[in-house]
Structure 1
């Protein structure tokens, strides 16, 4: 039996899907462990032993072998950087572009994903409609700024598909129907190519089990 060194515990959340796409893009073998959030599996004793905060994703890395304790990581962006350490040329691109790749990865984390997540958590508060709209508008405005990134190179982080693209594709997918695509031709080209990429197709479906 082939040993698969990585377990990915997750659900159909943006953070989990980004990690799945990174695994697929890097070509690292992993096993999906679906955590059913609706059934409260993220609050089970078994899962809480891995991550006391009860959040997904979580990876268990046994790649160093049975003589070492497995590495458990519970923060999605730390997981992405761990995978990038394992496959830097793939997920971060050439050294010439690496600083740019880091910059654009963090642009999507702080300027797009962060306000989008804040808007999501406000969705059930009737009095928060105005704040939610402000946050969503801010996220979409920031996505629009990425038109420049897509105009400068084939991929958002440089000379190859990597962490910046992984961070971007899932959140752009969230706002796909609301974006003014007629004003974003380069970003549209990038997005259509990214969504057709085999690693993205597989990663998007990773938790459809």
Structure 2
């Protein structure tokens, strides 16, 4: 059994995509990041970086004590190795998959996240910052578009590299990106969106977080007012 500490963000969706595809049994523990659940001591014992998602594997392969894990990329790799799914045993395909997983973790996610912040959440619209992150997000879409020109998925068959990237493309309109400008990304995106497991994973949003004000002042302060004192 996997205990999933989750909220309805792109990084949260990565893990539900895997769990719905793999068939691993799991229990969701909602962590409402707009209300500050990520700072509760019981969550910080699992995820000291006070970010979702996090998991606890109650039945690790070595038969020992439960394993707690944070960071979405590390979680995807762990679950793939645990189940033998969505990460090829072939050295070259595996290496390519992990390379693109880390590309998402180090590039697409952070840059699109800053795009979201300055486009949607920042109380003052800073033209330079918006332009900077919209352009960089577009560059990364272009990298992915070129890579997908002769393939259906990012690395071999559908893999954790696709699961990591797809949730960050879902918000393409909010990122000021037009998928018609990236036809290979659009084809890939639509194919993944049609998968039954993808639909099940995203249906969880309405169950867990049916809607909250996008610019609630209290949530804004909790999410964006953190500094070194937050974790002391």
TM superposition score normalised by structure 1 = 0.85
CA gap of 1:39–1:155, structure 2 versus 1, over 3 A, is same
What does 1:77-96 correspond to in 2, within 5 Å? 77-88=73-84, 90-93=85-88, 95=90, 96=92
Q: CA deviation at 1:91?
A: 1.3
For structure 2, the 5+ residue unaligned runs are: 209-232
Distance 1:104 1:32 in 2: 27
Q: Does 1:156 align with 2:151?
A: no
Residue deviations 1:166-187 (CA, integer Å, cap 9, x gap): 1221111111464333332222
For structure 1, the 5+ residue unaligned runs are: none
Match of 1:139 in 2: 137
Distance 1:110 1:22 in 2: 20
After TM superposition, where is structure 1 displaced by more than 4 Å over at least 4 residues in a row? Answer: none
What does 1:19-58 correspond to in 2, within 5 Å? 19-58=15-54
2:86/2:160 contact within 8 Å kept: yes
Q: Secondary structure at the match of 1:146?
A: helix
Q: Does 1:165 align with 2:162?
A: yes
1:147/1:184 contact within 8 Å kept: yes
1:17/1:206 contact within 8 Å kept: no
The count of corresponding residues between Structure 1 and Structure 2 is 202
Q: Secondary structure at the match of 1:191?
A: helix
2:73/2:164 contact within 8 Å kept: no
1:97/1:157 contact within 8 Å kept: yes
2:4/2:27 contact within 8 Å kept: yes
| Root-mean-square deviation (Å) | 2.3
1:101/1:156 contact within 8 Å kept: yes
